[in-house]
Chains A and B, each alone.
Chain A
Amino acid sequence: MTTHVRDTVSVIHGPKGCSHHNISLLHATGLENDRISIPELVSTGLAETDIIFGGEESLRRTLESAACRNVRAIYVLSTCIIDTIGDDVGGICAGDFRVPVIPIPTAGFLGGTFQDGVNNALIAIAATAPESGKTYGVNIIGERNLEYEVEENYREIHRILTLLGLEINTRFVHTTSVDQISLLGAGRLNILREPGLAPVGEYLRQRFGTPYIASFPLGLSGTLSFIDSVARACGVDGRRVAEEERSLQDEILDGFSDLRDAPVVFDQTPTDPESVRAAEEAAGMLRLKIGNFQDSTPLPAAPSVGTYGVKRMLHRWRRAIHA
Chain B
Amino acid sequence: MPECTNPLWPCAMTGAAACLAGFEGMSVVIHGSSGCYYYPATLLHAPLHGTFILEHEVIFGSEERLLEVVSGLSGKGKKIAVITTCVPALLGEDIRSMLENYDVILVDSPGFAGDVETGYRKALAALPVQVNPDTPGVNIDGVSLFDPYSSGNVQEVRRLLTAASIPVATVFCQDRFSRISASAACTVGTNRDFASGVGECCGETLGLAAVRATFCRLGNLFPGADISPVLAEADLQEERIIRVCDKYLQRYDPPSVVIAAGFSYARFAAETLEQYLDADIRGICSRNPPEETRYPAEHVTGMGQVRELIASRDPDLVIGSSFERSVSPGRVFTGMTPPLRGEVRIAPRPLAGINGTLSFVEQVLNALLDTRPD
Contacts from A to B (Cβ < 8 Å) = 11, 14-21, 23-25, 27-28, 31-32, 36-38, 40-48, 50-51, 58, 61-62, 65-66, 79-81, 84-85, 108-110
How many residue pairs link A and B with beta carbons under 8 A? The number is 136
Q: Which residues from B are CB-within-8-Å of A19?
A: 4, 6-7
- Whether the pair B33, A24 counts as a contact (CB closer than 8 A) is no
- Whether the pair B33, A108 counts as a contact (CB closer than 8 A) is yes
- Whether the pair B322, A25 counts as a contact (CB closer than 8 A) is no
- Whether the pair B53, A85 counts as a contact (CB closer than 8 A) is no
Closest to B42 in A: A25
Closest to B119 in A: A17
Complex alpha-carbon distance, A51 and B38, angstroms: 23
B330 to chain A, nearest CB (A): 12
**Which of A43, A61, A65, A108 lies in contact with B35, CB distance below 8 A?**
A108
Q: Considering residues B111, B323, B327, B329, which has the most beta carbons from chain A within 10 angstroms of its beta carbon?
A: B111
The answer to whether B55 has its CB under 8 Å from any CB of chain A is: yes
- Whether the pair A38, B112 counts as a contact (CB closer than 8 A) is no
- Whether the pair A15, B111 counts as a contact (CB closer than 8 A) is yes
Q: Which residues from A are CB-within-8-Å of B139?
A: none
A174 to chain B, nearest CB (A): 19
- Whether the pair B6, A17 counts as a contact (CB closer than 8 A) is no
- Whether the pair A24, B4 counts as a contact (CB closer than 8 A) is no
The answer to whether B163 has its CB under 8 Å from any CB of chain A is: no
Closest to B112 in A: A15
Q: Considering residues B12, B38, B112, which has the most beta carbons from chain A within 10 angstroms of its beta carbon?
A: B112
The answer to whether B2 has its CB under 8 Å from any CB of chain A is: yes
Complex alpha-carbon distance, A17 and B119, angstroms: 12
**Which of B5, B12, B87 lies in contact with A81, CB distance below 8 A?**
B87
Q: Which residues from A are CB-within-8-Å of B53?
A: 109
Q: Which residues from B are CB-within-8-Å of A37?
A: 326
- Whether the pair B90, A84 counts as a contact (CB closer than 8 A) is yes
A43 to chain B, nearest CB (A): 5
Closest to A59 in B: B3
Q: Digitize B1-23: 1 where CB-to-A-CB distance is under 8 Å, 0 elsewhere.
A: 11111111111111000000000
B313 to chain A, nearest CB (A): 20
The answer to whether B99 has its CB under 8 Å from any CB of chain A is: no
- Whether the pair A31, B4 counts as a contact (CB closer than 8 A) is no
